[in-house]
Amino acid sequence: MPFDLDWSSIDDVLLDMDGTLLDLHYDTTFWMHHVHEIVGRLTHESPDVIQKRFTDELKTHEGTLTWYCTDYWAEFFGIDLMAAKRELAHLIRFRPHAEPFLQALKKSRLRTLIATNAHRDVVTLKLEVLPLDQMVDGIVSSHDFGVAKEHPDFWRHLFEQHAIDPGRALFIDDSPKVLDAAEQAGVREIIEIRHPNLAMPPRSHWKKGIEDFDALLPSLEAIGT
């Protein structure tokens, strides 16, 4: 179903990466299965024991940069985390209509920035598979600012460093807590991605959202250049 958006009120389009532009299936498969198998081969613990150790630790870091920090988890598990992530690189792919959406943005007067909580190492890995950096005007990692997107300081740094007027910005993400933070930071238009993981059914946690970018494409293409 088309999403009603007044593009003339927008100058900057801020896009999350994992679960928004890219299929979250890659990340979920890695963190919920693959990493436990690798650790299990080293420690001979059962997958259940590793999973519990991981989820208990993860809970204490919810909404912080540590949650997203590959260096931290490499040390926690005692493995080469990026090598492990690379083993699943074949699962890194666009979500439906993300590519034509980015192409239409590129043709428009709008500035497009990716705003991600992913560690720079992970961003680099994804760019090896998909040339996202060539499709947008910039990629911002919250690790550059030292605070996650869930934190008000992330938004202050982002707006200052890139001269963004939040009152003329659109933000799209799949995390309800991040969407809340964007709203509190004064971002004008906020849209939830409701089908972040293509291997799972769609879900809806936020008041405004779309399943796929095809809901925004007709109105975006209609604004011309």
Site for Mg ion, rule CB under 5 A? 16, 18-19, 174
Q: Which is nearer to Mg ion, 19 or 209 (CB)?
A: 19
The 3-state DSSP composition of the chain as helix, strand, coil percent (nearest 5) reads 50, 15, 35
Please state the closest distance from residue 107 (CB atom) to Mg ion, in A: 25
Please state the closest distance from residue 18 (CB atom) to Mg ion, in A: 5
Angle at 114 between CA 109 and CA 73, to 5 degrees: 175
Please state the closest distance from residue 225 (CB atom) to Mg ion, in A: 29
Would you say 79 and 34 are in contact if contact means Cβ atoms under 8 Å apart? Answer: no
Q: Which is nearer to Mg ion, 47 or 138 (CB)?
A: 138
Please state the closest distance from residue 209 (CB atom) to Mg ion, in A: 13
Please state the closest distance from residue 175 (CB atom) to Mg ion, in A: 5
How far apart, in whole angstroms, are the C-alpha atoms of residue 7 and residue 70?
A: 36
Would you say 173 and 179 are in contact if contact means Cβ atoms under 8 Å apart? Answer: yes
Q: How many residues does the chain have?
A: 225
Q: Which is nearer to Mg ion, 17 or 104 (CB)?
A: 17
DSSP letter for 149, please: T
Q: Which is nearer to Mg ion, 21 or 35 (CB)?
A: 21
Tokens, residue 182: 């964007």
Q: Which is nearer to Mg ion, 81 or 178 (CB)?
A: 178
